[in-house]
Amino acid sequence: MPGYGGRSPTEDSWPLPLREKFELTLYDDEYATCVETYATLRVFTGDVPPDRFTEYIGVTPSKTQEFQIRPEGWKSLPAGWFLTSQSEIDSRDVRRHIDFILDQIDAKTDALAWIRESGGIADVMCYWVSASGQGGPSLLPAQSSKLAALDLEIWFDVYFDASDDGGD
């Protein structure tokens, strides 16, 4: 391989600063590049009433929403079940918020599968406000594995802090 003397690059062959750069980062509750963050498990329950899903999953939601037919020209609101870390976790490290969600629903694969079979969908939405437009949220490999085992997509709703004018 060019640049590696014909050897395949391995972590052991990387210069020390590069190896250290790729070690897992520790939690940082004061995450300097973030103004505010939280995570929400969103379960749109399809044909299942939210209170029935609560009974099945055995977790108290932060909020539920009954199916609502709205006037013509307005989209009807689907039935929903929501678990959020917003008022539960005091940290600007989104990984803490994701851990809160995952800890609540650990091993609840059957409940999420039941919802999908009933026409519902589930995902994890992370609200994240950037302090400066640099840096950003990250996930740990264990979190990615748990999300995959639960068949949960994760996505980020990212904003830029309006109070940061970028000037002196």
Give the per-residue pLDDT at 19.
47
pLDDT above 70 covers what percent of the chain?
83
Residue 107 has pLDDT above 70, yes or no: yes
Least confident of 28-37, 49-58, 67-76, 107-116: 67-76
- Phi/psi of residue 105, nearest 5 degrees: -115, 10
Q: pLDDT, tens digit, for every residue of 26-60? A: 899 999 999 999 999 999 998 899 999 999 999 99
Joined tokens for residue 30? 């004061």
Over residues 99-110, the mean pLDDT reads 94
Give the per-residue pLDDT at 2.
42
Note the maximum CA span of the chain. Answer: 69
75 pLDDT band, cuts 50/70/90, is confident
Joined tokens for residue 58? 């055995």
Give the per-residue pLDDT at 15.
54
Assign 3-state DSSP to the chain and report helix, strand, coil percentages, each to 5. 30, 25, 50
CA 87 – CA 140 distance, rounded (Å): 22
Give the per-residue pLDDT at 168.
43
Give the per-residue pLDDT at 10.
47
Q: What is the CA radius of gyration of the chain?
A: 20
Instruction: Parse the chain into domains and list their residue ranges.
Output: 32-160
Q: pLDDT, tens digit, for every residue of 131-143? A: 988 889 999 999 9
Give the per-residue pLDDT at 49.
92
